[in-house]
Copies of this chain bind each other. A is one copy, B any other.
Amino acid sequence: MPGREFFQTQSVGQALAGFRPRRRTGPETVRREDALGRVPARAVRSGVPLPGFARSTVDGYAVRAADTYGAGDGLPAYLDVVGALRMGTAADVEVRSGGAVQIPTGAAVPGSADAVVMIEHTQVTMPGVIEVTRPVAVGDGVVRPDEDVAVGNELVPAGRPLRAQDLGLLAAAGITRLVVLRRPRVAIISTGDEVVAPDTECVSPGQVRDATASALAALVLQAGGEPASYGIVPDDLELLTKTLTTAVAECDLVVVSAGSSVGARDETTAAVEALGAPGVYCHGLAIKPGKPTLLAECADVPVIGLPGNPLSALVVFRMVGLPVLRLVGGITTVPPEPSTAATMARPVASAAGRLDVVQVSVRDGVATPLFGHSALLSLLTSADGYVVIPEPATGLDAGTSVTVTMYR
């Protein structure tokens, strides 16, 4: 059986470092308006300087700085007002020595002026003449034509999802389209004879509605992927292999939430092996909840087999699936996640050598662990976030300072 020698429980750190499927999404061109959260395929550089002209940062008078040297309340500099500039037009007035031109904030400063004196530091003593009561240095009150961005400067880097201000700077530089990496298409396959569609009105005893697929789709969306539902497959090797084959052909990442029985888990493994090399990377992660996790690569497409419990499946997908999703989608700068500092209200036990993910509610800086069987999904909806107990630790004492990753 190919890959059988790799069937072993790995630590989450080992798995994330070692499981590097080759699949990457390709480039596509999108409009800037649609680019929030998208990942630039390469750095976007500016073809223009910004603001593009010497720009006044104050309301006042454009002057030659030398004319104001030594000016003060006792000995103001007197300058002739030779005109007034308007917003949005070229500064086509010449400021000669001894002259000044009225200018609003944001307007273009004439090339013949080299500073703008604030209106607060001037007085109009007679029509057409101002007193300047404070000296200005060259460049005061002015932003240089390429002070914000010079030609060739990087506007946005490759690999970091675009943020609001990035779109603003792209707009300022006149970028209307850009090349981003395609959103990874993520196949979501649910399996299990007991699993029925969420819109099933009446379920029989023994049946459960599929909770995992809906939640996984949401996580994929939040992480910048495109979820694709492949429905619910009963515990039947042939059917699962068929669905998996289609999903691998059509998607960039495949997620199978296994039925909860041992038999169902074995079927996922068998189906993955039926698809061929490179096959199973690891079978079992040293994580609680979530041990029965399968990582595999079919052709170049990563396949993640999740545990049957919705809670376990969602924990593992956050910890292992999202990093793989980002790898495939070319996200090299991971967006920051909400977190908060807290102290543990109660002790939590853990086994050394295993990563424990503890659901907590947080109030006034105190994190209270939520205990309960991992078959209970309500544990996850009651939680505000989770605390990770690293592999070497054997637990957390009450009062320990922890970082809680918060759900949003």
Using A53-B206, A156-B381, A377-B168 as known contacts, say yes or no to A88 and B193 having CB atoms under 8 A apart.
yes
16 CB-based A-B contacts, threshold 8 Å: A52-B203, A87-B259, A88-B196, A91-B206, A161-B408, A163-B407, A164-B215, A165-B314, A167-B215, A168-B211, A170-B214, A172-B209, A172-B211, A172-B310, A336-B385, A341-B341
A218 touches B143 (CB 8 A): no
Q: How far is the CB of A4 from chain B (nearest CB, A)?
A: 22
Measured between beta carbons, the chain B residues less than 8 angstroms from A170 are 198, 214
B87 touches A194 (CB 8 A): yes
A262 within 8 A of B: yes
Number of copies: 2
Question: Which of A105-113, A127-135, A179-187 lines the interface with chain B?
Answer: A105-113
Interface residues of A (CB under 8 A from B): 32-33, 36, 50-53, 55, 57, 59, 86-91, 104-108, 143, 147-149, 153, 155-156, 161, 163-174, 176, 192-196, 198-201, 203-219, 221-222, 235, 259-264, 308, 310, 314, 335-341, 373, 375-378, 380-381, 383-385, 406-408
Q: Which 5 A-B pairs have CB atoms at the shortest separation, nearest pair first? A: A168-B215, A106-B260, A104-B261, A336-B338, A88-B194
B217 touches A87 (CB 8 A): no
Measured between beta carbons, the chain B residues less than 8 angstroms from A262 are 59, 104-105
Task: Name the CB-closest residue of B to A202.
Answer: B174
A168 touches B212 (CB 8 A): yes
Given A55-B375, A89-B204, A169-B380, 20 more A-B residue pairs with CB atoms under 8 Å apart are: A36-B218, A36-B221, A87-B194, A87-B261, A90-B204, A90-B205, A106-B192, A106-B259, A143-B376, A148-B377, A156-B381, A163-B381, A168-B380, A169-B381, A171-B215, A174-B198, A174-B199, A336-B338, A336-B384, A336-B408
Measured between beta carbons, the chain B residues less than 8 angstroms from A50 are 377-378
Contact check: which of B143, B200, B207 meets A373 at CB < 8 Å?
A: B143
Q: How far is the CB of A326 from chain B (nearest CB, A)?
A: 13
Measured between beta carbons, the chain B residues less than 8 angstroms from A51 are 208, 375
Task: Name the CB-closest residue of B to A32.
Answer: B214
Which of A32, A149, A211, A380 gathers most chain B CB within 10 Å? A211
Contact check: which of B33, B147, B385 meets A376 at CB < 8 Å?
A: B147
Measured between beta carbons, the chain B residues less than 8 angstroms from A161 are 408
Q: How far is the CB of A135 from chain B (nearest CB, A)?
A: 20
B53 touches A373 (CB 8 A): no
A171 touches B213 (CB 8 A): yes
Contact check: which of B108, B192, B206 meets A90 at CB < 8 Å?
A: B206
Q: How far is the CB of A155 from chain B (nearest CB, A)?
A: 7
Task: Name the CB-closest residue of B to A86.
Answer: B193
A171 touches B339 (CB 8 A): no
Measured between beta carbons, the chain B residues less than 8 angstroms from A163 are 218, 381, 407-408
A379–B8 Cα gap in the complex (Å)?
49
Measured between beta carbons, the chain B residues less than 8 angstroms from A155 are 381
A88–B233 Cα gap in the complex (Å)?
13
